[in-house]
Amino acid sequence: MSVRVTVGIVLHDSAADIVACLAALSAQTRPADAVVVLDNASSDDGLGRARQAMPEARLERSGANIGFAAGHNRAMALEPADIHVVLNPDCRLAPRFLEHAIEAIEADPTIGAVSGRLLRFRDDASDGGSLIEQPGDILDSTGMVALRNRRVLDRSSDLPAAGRDLAPADVFGASGAAAVYRRTMLEDVAFEGEWLDESFFAYREDVDLAWRAQLLGWRCRYLPTALARHRRRVAPGRRGALPARINRLSVANRWRMIAKNELAAGWRRDWRSIVGRDVQILGYCALREQPSLLAVADVAGDAVRLRAWRRDLMRRRRAADEDILGWFGGRAERAAP
């Protein structure tokens, strides 16, 4: 029996992107069984444009901006499926993206997530670029790579695409711009009904989910044949141009995911790198980004819930210490079996 697939898209002032995103989704060789478009209290007409572009989609409007994580949790709850696709409105999927991702998940029950090959939109093309890889393309993400200081970055981001990451492989996790998740995995990593941790609101929630999945023994497969293009607006090096709230969330969410997911063995091995990175963050905030210092209070206020989530996760952990620690500062990928 064929699996059921739901695609969730959360909008916040995304009217400029949603029509092209839905057009690419409509062109999939393996169509989604349901599409949920949830508008997070936008000031534009993104939901109206979505209705015109895909009238069969389930359209929902939130009276307040509940955040990326809570928005996608709501979308998943509205249209339960065997496979859930978390898709950014500024992302366009090549026609066989869903087909290849679904085939991979159906073929191997240990795969909990799939990362595609995300290319940057091209500045030299009026439509952002063909959905076929072109000479001169730049990679946006081929999964996640984790460092010993607990930074987790998009693998191969900003590098020329030609000749790079051309083989399927297991990676740490999938970018939330276009991530494909098995529902069984989402249920396994959930806590108190939340798949994505809603306290994150936005940013790093995909890393937190990937880390939890690794701890529980789920694999993430990178597929170079699952192509997409993404217009990345938030990236390292652009902090000065971002709203203060986003920067504060980024700092707080680093500490939230470490508090929940870090192993005792990982702390013993890498505490110098972790603390060194945190000293850099605090020093930068004190000198140039003072509002982000309030992230300390944000995490302290969430301490009880973080401890409860951590206890539940560590009680059920299935992966060995060495399997998890190998990702941090070691391998960027594992060869696909």
> pLDDT for 165-224, tens place per residue?
999 999 999 999 999 999 999 999 999 999 999 999 888 999 999 999 999 999 999 999
Instruction: Tell me the chain's radius of gyration from C-alpha atoms.
Output: 19
Residue 10 structure tokens: 């959360």
Cβ proximity of 76 and 173 under 8 Å: no
The CA distance from 224 to 165, in Å, is: 7
> pLDDT for 221-259, tens place per residue?
999 999 999 997 765 556 666 677 788 999 999 999 999
H helix or E strand, kind and range, residue 178 = strand 178-182
Per DSSP, 33 falls in state S
On the question of pLDDT at 325 being above 70, the answer is: yes
Q: Given this model, what pLDDT does residue 239 score? A: 61
> pLDDT for 304-323, tens place per residue?
999 999 999 999 999 999 99
> pLDDT for 261-293, tens place per residue?
999 999 999 999 999 999 999 999 999 999 999
Q: Given this model, what pLDDT does residue 264 score? A: 97
Q: Given this model, what pLDDT does residue 129 score? A: 64
On the question of pLDDT at 74 being above 60, the answer is: yes
The CA distance from 210 to 174, in Å, is: 7
Can you give the pTM of this predicted structure? 0.94
For tokens 């981001």, name the residue.
157
On the question of pLDDT at 298 being above 60, the answer is: yes
Q: Given this model, what pLDDT does residue 283 score? A: 96
CA 208 vs CA 6, 286, 300, 336: distances in Å: 22, 26, 18, 23
On the question of pLDDT at 97 being above 90, the answer is: yes
Q: Give the Cβ contact number of residue 308 at 10 Å.
A: 13
Q: Given this model, what pLDDT does residue 1 score? A: 55
- The conformational region for residue 182 under phi > 0 = left, psi -120 to 50 = alpha, else beta, is beta
- Name residues whose C-beta falls within 8 Å of residue 306's C-beta, 6 or more positions apart in sequence: 256, 259, 260, 299
Among the listed residues 38, 34, 74, the one whose alpha carbon sits nearest the alpha carbon of residue 56: 34
